[in-house]
Structure 1
Amino acid sequence: MSEAKNLTPPELVGLGAVFEALAEYAQNMGYRNVGESFLRLGIDSIRATPLKSTIEKILSQTGWIKKEVQSHSKISAHAKRKKATKETTSAFYIITHTGFKNILLETPHALNQSSNYTKYKLTIYGLSQPKRLLSSATIEELQRLLKRLEVQELDICIDSNNALNLEGLRAFGVIDPCFTTSYLHNPKGLSYITRLCYYDKQAKDHLKDALYRLELTCITRGKIGALFVPFDEVKAILNTL
């Protein structure tokens, strides 16, 4: 794999053509307020619920490290909240040879009550970050992991250097503001998009340039190369922006 052309996260899971079509739709038809701004679509998170034995076998074969989430980590508040509410009993990182560690393993109560804690909830997050592009070596490592898993959810991110039209999203339900982030759970009329999350990414990540992000949590199922994106539902969201 050439360093000159690193794969994007959509290409990583075999959805490059789908995202190119969505981006073309957004720029030419769907995004009414585009003006002089840009609109970029990507994948920021991938979720699966693999057997613990599968993960332990992958770790043994690759030599990657499993490390417990520490209190000073960026996601420690997330992990602590879930442990306090008894959603999970443990939280770990997987750290690959390239140092990529945005792979969270959680032991959820709901998935393990009757199965002797045999499954993890696995999240690969932070895949679309303006300041940290994925190297070809990291992409290869993620492919090694993902080809062993059945993906169940994707977080599609829609980035713009102009603030998006939250009023348009009210067509899908009640927007719940929480500090600097706005959420919309279980959007009306959509079957595969289960949550919208909107925030000022420049402020959150201390970026040099303006950047606003809308994340769509989408249900999917299958192996990489055979996943689907709810194309019409994403277009319906784009039409409101």
Structure 2
Amino acid sequence: MSGAKPLTPLELVGLGTDFEVLANYAQNGGYRNVGSNSLRLGIDSIRVTPLKSTIEKILTQTGWNKKEVQSHSKISAHAKRKKATKEITSAFYIITHTGFKNILLETPHALNQSSNYKKYNLTIFGLTQPKNSLSSATIEELQRLLKRLEVIEIDICLDSTNALNLEGLRAFGALDTHFTTAYLNNPKNLTYITKLCYYDKQAKDDLKKSLYRLELTCKTRGKVGALFIPTDEIVEILNKIKATHDR
């Protein structure tokens, strides 16, 4: 890949073409307050459940560092909750040679309880950020990692410079709200999308310009290059948002 155009997170998992179709649909759908250049689709997180032996081998071969999540980190509260409920016994960052450390490795409680279950929870997060785009060197490192793992879940993000009317999302269930965040677990009538989360990203990340993000947690399965995304369900969500704008 040296000298070539860096891959985007979408291309990294082989979904660039699928997202072009969705992006065209979203940008040409006539959404009020969502102009042709104001809505962006991407991938923010990728989740896998790798074997313990696979992770140990990867760390040995790459020489990447593993550092325990500290109490002052941004995701410490997330890890602390899981430890309290005994979902996990430990949480670590994996840090690549380029310094990328948005790779969270969690040790499930069951890993220490049963010899029949030897899988970690691994999440690569923060892949689509307006402040910091991934370098080509980091993309190469993530590509080498993902080639050896099976993806089970991805978070698709829809970023808009204008606030979205969420009334249409109530068709999938009652939204829970917390400050500038609204979310819905296990939305009705959707098979592959298991969570909706909408928030003011400018407020959360202290951005200079307004940005609103809708994240869709989607079930998938397979190696990179052979994944699927629930296009029909994403279109249904876009249509619900559009319908409330058009009233």
Aligning the two structures, in what range does the TM-score lie when normalised by the shorter sequence? over 0.9
Cα distance in 1 between the residues matched to 2:37 and 2:173: 27
Cα distance in 2 between the residues matched to 1:20 and 1:56: 36
Partner amino acid, structure 2, of 1:48: V
Partner amino acid, structure 2, of 1:167: E
Cα distance in 2 between the residues matched to 1:236 and 1:3: 40
Q: Judging changes above 3 Å, is the alpha-carbon distance between structure 1 residues 229 and 48 closer, same or farther for their aligned structure 2 residues?
A: same
How big is the shift at 1:71? 1.0
Cα distance in 2 between the residues matched to 1:55 and 1:110: 17
Cα distance in 2 between the residues matched to 1:222 and 1:116: 22
Check whether the contact 1:37–1:162 (CA below 8 A) recurs between aligned residues.
no
**Where in structure 2 are there 5+ consecutive unaligned residues?**
242-247
* Counterpart residue number, 1:132: 132
Cα distance in 1 between the residues matched to 2:221 and 2:36: 36
Q: Judging changes above 3 Å, is the alpha-carbon distance between structure 1 residues 10 and 37 closer, same or farther for their aligned structure 2 residues?
A: closer
Partner amino acid, structure 2, of 1:130: P
* Counterpart residue number, 1:185: 185
* Counterpart residue number, 1:16: 16
Check whether the contact 2:69–2:93 (CA below 8 A) recurs between aligned residues.
yes
* Counterpart residue number, 1:232: 232
2:223 matched to 1:223?
A: yes
* Counterpart residue number, 1:175: 175
SS for the counterpart of 1:107 is strand
How big is the shift at 1:28? 1.1
Cα distance in 2 between the residues matched to 1:128 and 1:110: 32
How big is the shift at 1:4? 6.9
Cα distance in 2 between the residues matched to 1:4 and 1:179: 43
Q: Judging changes above 3 Å, is the alpha-carbon distance between structure 1 residues 53 and 74 closer, same or farther for their aligned structure 2 residues?
A: same
Partner amino acid, structure 2, of 1:74: K
Compute the TM-score of the two structures, normalised by the length of structure 2.
0.93
How big is the shift at 1:117? 5.8
SS for the counterpart of 1:29 is coil
Cα distance in 2 between the residues matched to 1:4 and 1:164: 36
Cα distance in 1 between the residues matched to 2:37 and 2:163: 10
**Where in structure 1 are there 5+ consecutive unaligned residues?**
none
Check whether the contact 2:184–2:197 (CA below 8 A) recurs between aligned residues.
yes
How big is the shift at 1:91? 0.3
2:49 matched to 1:49?
A: yes
Compute the TM-score of the two structures, normalised by the length of structure 1.
0.95
Q: Judging changes above 3 Å, is the alpha-carbon distance between structure 1 residues 177 and 3 closer, same or farther for their aligned structure 2 residues?
A: farther
Check whether the contact 1:31–1:238 (CA below 8 A) recurs between aligned residues.
no
SS for the counterpart of 2:199 is strand
SS for the counterpart of 1:233 is helix
How big is the shift at 1:37? 5.9
Provide the identity percentage: 81
SS for the counterpart of 2:221 is strand
Deviations 1:95-121 (A, max 9, x none): 000000000000123566433662100
How big is the shift at 1:6? 1.9
2:204 matched to 1:198?
A: no
2:107 matched to 1:107?
A: yes
